[in-house]
Structure 1
Amino acid sequence: MKTIFNQLTLKTKLISLICAAFIFSVVVEYVYTIHMIKKEFYHLSSQRFKDIAELVSTNHNLINQVSNPTSDNLKAIQYYTEQVRQLALVDFVVIFNMQGVQYSHLDKSKTGQQFVGGNEQKALQATSYLSTARGALSDSITASSPIYNDNKQQIGIVLVGQTRHKMNYLALKSSQPVWSLLVSFTLAVIFVCLLSRHIKMLLCGLKPNQIDQLFEEHNAIIRAVKEGIVVINRNGLISQINDEAIRILHMDKSKENIIGKPISTLIPNARLNEVMNKGIAEYNCEQNINGMVILTNRIPLFVKNKLVGAIASFRDITEIRQLSNKLTSINRDADALRSQSHEFNNKLHVIYGLAYQDNKQELVNYLEEIIGNKQPELDEISQYIKDPIITGFLNSKLSQIKELGVSLTFNINGMLAPISNHLVIHHLITILGNLIDNSLDAVHSLADKKIELNFTVQNGYFYIEIIDNGIGISEKDVQHIFQKGYSTKGDNRGMGLYLVLSCVDELGGNIQLFNLSKKKGTCFKISLPLAVLYREAS
């Protein structure tokens, strides 16, 4: 039954429920009303019967006729009582003497017969009364009044009454007609149809089970998203927040204790109220909240072109940088592999040609030249830089530099021990990779391309110096070169040096930029404290 009810449309459910409630309330009200009307009708009718009986019993002509019950007087009594019955709209008016002999009756054939009813005894005792009795006309409500002559002697009785069947009929007739209930029911059904249509429009035509499913899907999406989400309403109160937002912002309250609270008290510098008031979205903004640096998007929330609130989505910028560094490392490794592939393919063709010509001496000389070409540099890197990831990265960069025909000067002073913190390694690769790539870009159009790499480990610091003989950087660009999105190389650039500066700041270091005065070119100098580089990962 429950399954069938859930499958019904919203319109059908509303009509069924309201009709059931309407019918139940109408039936209860109708039964109660009929009961009260019958009770009141019986009371009023009984009093009316009593008044009619007393009025008839005091009629002077009737008293004389009952005192002298001749044939003509009996006919007069019958005629008089019939007139009273019709005018008073009662079922019977009966008159009988002290012996119970009837002088009048609705059924004329019963005139002169003994009264049947059993309620005449009280009237014979000279009292007026009301009673319910079973007579010739079935159950009835009767009122009786004694008849006295001029000497104050009781000479008969007047009975006035109506059958219960007739009284019930009159009571029902005086109650609310059935057609009015049908009209009310029809109007209720029409109202429900209009109401359900309006509700369906508000719910975008969705059924209740579809709304429930959509709500569950919405909650599942909010929980599954790996971004923090905070939503406020028009009053600046938090209406939605997911578990990831609570985790990122290190909030020590449960979701139930956060919903409905002003965002200005829980997250003072969230800027959602400002975005909502201006109606202008803000994307990819760095923000420090509760000591946590996040990258956030803040968007005003509109429903049917009406501003109803604002929503913020954000991630821990450290996590984003880790992903960015991983992607950068992968891309650089891929570039290095492509460079090595091109280089080795060319050399394999030469080796194949010398072997095919059976020119053994030239082949030996060529192989010695290849092996000896990189060996000093590789030996120097592996001798002084003991971290295998950084060593491998530098080897790949040397291959790339050689393939591009760049003259490289490489110097290392001091030994860099292995680094256990992978985040530090990613930061170092980001710094070295972006600065080397910038140097390669700076010299790519020159005939005589030169790059110098100098690494020094001393006095508790790791110094990095990268020099190129490119065209240098203008004074105007030097002021903005580390800003996010700023680039002299075209659109969709300007992230490299921004990431370098961010990584240097994360490692507690310092970066300096110099334009070479005596000769063209650029020099980047970086100092990084070894205490930070060898700090254990938290």
Structure 2
Amino acid sequence: MITDILISNSVSENIRRHQEEKAQIVARTVSKSHIVINALEDKQNLTEVQEYTKDIQAATNVMFIVVMDMNGIRMTHPNTKQIGRRFVGGDEKLALKGKEYVSTSLGTLGKSVRAFMPIYNEKKEQIGVVAVGISLESLETALGRSHKNIIIVTALGLMIGIIGAILLARYIKKILLGLEPFAISKILEERSTMLQSVHEGIIAVDNTSTITLVNKSALQIFKKAGLSQKPVGMKIYEYMPSTRLDHVLQSGQPELDEEQTINGVSILVNRVPLIVNGQVVGAISTFRDKTEVNQLAEQLTGVRMYAEALRAQSHEFMNRLHVILGMVQLKSYDQLSDFIRTLVDYRNQEFGSITQHIKDPALAGFIMGKLSYAREENVDLSIESSSTIPEPAANKTTHELITILGNLIDNAIEAMADTVEKTLEVTFSYQENRLTIEVFDSGPGISSELQKEIFKKGYSTKGENRGYGLYLANKSVKELGGELTIDSKLLLGTNFHIQIPYEAKEVGK
């Protein structure tokens, strides 16, 4: 109902405006006619003017076209008996003073919307007025017809929406195996409780042998065996060649109390297929180190990182909500309006500045994400460009640029974790098919000795399983045929300078 009212009002206003514009256009056309101008000046050929306006009236389907002199005396009228009489309605006075306007009034032919247009001769002297009227009755008929169409379309749309909602609900329920939301929530809670309470290591794969879940107890055993601590997303047979979990996927038969050796570490394993509706959709393995008792599995792999990321992202948002709540409680509505407007304008300016200079949507979106991440880490990240950076001709260039910038920005933010001033500046420059990027941070700097080592694969001063960021960034620069240099001094910050060939994408391709 509300939609119908809003649309009807909008359509009604548009129809009325259209009819008013139509009347003005017809009036303006007649006012420029030499037939009308000559007749007004010479007081002759009135029959010709009457025929002329009659033809225009028929062609445009208006209610009337009346040409009058400066005394308001009609020279034309659909009813020839009204010719020579004074114009009726009283709304023509301003037109006789040179004004153009639209009004509504009652005349000899009934109530109508009227457009008045002054008539001037070649000396720019006003010699009369033309009035064009459109019947309000016909206008209301058009509005009623449009309202009826709106009701029909709204009803049809509502029916389609209801049918679509029913079909979508059935489809979703089928995907969810007929479970209601509360049942799914209960299952997830039970699953989480189970994983946090077991002493065994747990690893699960989907039907393509891709690792989807590993708990902490399992990672502790894998670490002891010298395996990577980030197995999720890898193929089980690539990550752990001695496994038989992929065989369980193929056979659909469990393997219980099997002994397995992973790089010299002995574990006792149970492997079970996951079967839904008679189909093997995955497999899960539980195992324990035979030489020691595992500690309680605290969290699933990745859950802590996910929770911390959500907490970091919501921190700034919650602070702003607290400010808004305080202003509402203090009834500081003007300050609240300014505060919200400032937040919106800041976001729009930030987005506009990046998209104005960086035309590659993927790269621009990536940088917007890094700006949000930097704010969460309390780092002042600024993005500057002295020129417009066009889209690259090859998609590979975008991929490598994201790798370069992502690693350099993340490395810089991490380097400034313990510094008071956290400033990070990324500068772009594009000229003659060559892109220059500078990434400067106000961190503790890098000694000249370490500068010779930081680009080596796996080299890091931050612990094990680190040291890949700068290696990958330098590798991507070389893949693009560019050069990466570093200028850093202790306590004075670090500046990475990148130059790469950059062929712009041709317009229209």
TM-score norm. by structure 2 comes to 0.43
TM-score norm. by structure 1 comes to 0.41
More helix by share: 1
